[in-house]
Structure 1
Amino acid sequence: MKLVKHIANLGYGSRKEVQWMFREGRITDAAGEVLYADDPLDHDAIRLDGEPLDPPSGLLLMLHKPVGYTCSMKDPGRIVFDLLPPRFRLRSPVLSTVGRLDRDTSGLLLLTDDGQLLHRIIAPKSKLSKVYLATLAEDLRGDEVATFASGTLMLDEEKTPLLPAELALLGPRQARLTLHEGRYHQVRRMFAAVGNHVQALHRERIGGLTLGELPAGEWRALDAGERAQLFAGG
């Protein structure tokens, strides 16, 4: 791939705009030597205005999603892409969220431009565990643990029962729930099915991957080891 196309695909501008960046001497190598559009492609050595390029295609990143943001490009309100560099919206292949967290849910959200990886993560057969911390409106009775683990709980308008899920009671109105599937608004609907209401919801983990010390609203790209960690967690 030519340098111009590669940099344009990362969202830095149209091909014409990137060509002007070369003419203006804004694209250099790590030592500050000006590069030309016909130079060999060496992604890690390229600098734009002295800064390294964003990760190339095949990107997987984690975002600590705050409450109040939606996982949509079309929502008129705040969207998770507002938390990323604006050029990320222009990448090719397109950057997409891996599943969704609703507006009122915070926590770990993955995004990728790798379609095969996206489908591997969300495919039902992967059964990647997802762990949520839920704060409830009413005191937990205690029998919810057995109900969620039974594999027989049916949600409204569903035709198949939920897979067994693990519920750990952390307090009268707080619990940690581990799911092995991803149905629409599943956590909220599960607690509604046992007569309760989720007041706050935070996703702590996907597979073996957690947010660690990543602050709310921040993101970072994941390396090969962290990708392996994602799937190692089952």
Structure 2
Amino acid sequence: MTDPIRLSKRLIELTGCSRREAELYIEGGWVTVDGEVVEQAQFKVADGQVVALLPGATPDAHEPMTLLLNQPAGLDFDAAQRLLSPDSRWPDDRAQVRLLRSHFARLTTTLALQPDASGLLVLTQDWRTLRKLNEDASKLEQEYVVEVSGEMAPNGLERLKRGLGDLPPVKASWQNETHLRFALKNPRPGVIKAFCKAVGLHVKSMKRIRIGGVPIGKVPAGQWRYLGQAERF
């Protein structure tokens, strides 16, 4: 019996690959230990454990991922991150992506939700996506559906579209008798509640359903999907 060794070292012994290639195989989810995928190069394996490469394995660095979470209201970023797991991926996600646990590491967000809002939150490992969202924040339209109560003041929609006092003009329309749609760019925190209050309405709930050209779609609250290859903010 010998002491357990690092998975990456065992893989080098088995395949003759380099240390970097071994790490890439493992991080890419291509290596199994006793039939279970292990993504940690430092994982310790004993003599009797079976280490194998999956068919089609390639020692390529995985692309940074962007995840779209339908965040429930009232969570901070840390709490939102804790919702992310293989089990909380939306079952109907059509993105052709091999799910890896490393996709949940080193995530960053931007374009925060309005206070007390639910809906689309972008979490990304991709610096290009993060830069796009930050640099184009003043150009990207964010769409919210807002449940309201009360009676709107006369000509309330027209007043919202023209601007009210220190509130800028905003695109607003009725979705149904109790829900308004707002489309606005880089909204400051609390501005949707201020819009509604200015025309006699009280906000009961609000949900962000779109940023630029990317909607959250039918993803249920607390679940997430990958940003599709053809989707663009």
Aligned equivalent of 2:82 = 82
1 CA distance for matches of 2:138 and 2:196? 24
DSSP-derived class of the 1:224 partner: coil
Deviation of 1:222 (Å): 1.7
Higher alpha-carbon Rg: 2
Which residue, 65, 73, 80 being the options, matches 1:59? 65
Structure 2 runs not aligned, ≥5 long = 1-19, 30-37, 87-100
Is the alpha carbon distance of 1:27 and 1:184 closer, same or farther for their aligned partners in structure 2, counting shifts above 3 Å? farther
1:222 aligns with 2:227: yes
DSSP-derived class of the 1:137 partner: strand
Aligned length: 191
Conserved? CA contact 1:144–1:167, under 8 Å: no
- TM-score of the pair, normalised by structure 2: 0.66
Aligned equivalent of 2:213 = 208
Which residue, 67, 71, 76 being the options, matches 2:76? 71
- TM-score of the pair, normalised by structure 1: 0.66
DSSP-derived class of the 1:178 partner: strand
Bigger relative contact order (CA 8 A; separation at least 6): 2
DSSP-derived class of the 1:214 partner: coil
C-alpha RMSD of the superposition: 3.4
> 1:42 is aligned with what amino acid?
D
Q: Percent identity?
A: 26
2 CA distance for matches of 1:22 and 1:96? 36
> 1:99 is aligned with what amino acid?
L
Conserved? CA contact 1:98–1:118, under 8 Å: yes
1 CA distance for matches of 2:150 and 2:223? 32
After the TM superposition, which segments of 4 or more aligned residues of structure 1 sit over 6 Å from their partners?
Answer: none
Q: Deviations over 1:134-164 (max 9, x none)?
A: 1113122253322322256425xxxxxx3x3
Which residue, 138, 144, 161 being the options, matches 1:132? 144
Which residue, 35, 55, 64 being the options, matches 1:30? 55
Aligned equivalent of 1:189 = 194
After superposition, where does 1:106-145 map in structure 2 within 5 Å? Answer: 106-124=118-136, 126-145=138-157
Conserved? CA contact 1:9–1:90, under 8 Å: no
Conserved? CA contact 2:66–2:226, under 8 Å: yes
Aligned equivalent of 1:42 = 60
2 CA distance for matches of 1:6 and 1:98? 31
- Of 129-138 and 210-219, deviating more is 210-219
Is the alpha carbon distance of 1:153 and 1:130 closer, same or farther for their aligned partners in structure 2, counting shifts above 3 Å? farther
Deviation of 1:131 (Å): 1.0
Conserved? CA contact 1:71–1:102, under 8 Å: no
Is the alpha carbon distance of 1:60 and 1:22 closer, same or farther for their aligned partners in structure 2, counting shifts above 3 Å? farther
DSSP-derived class of the 1:225 partner: coil
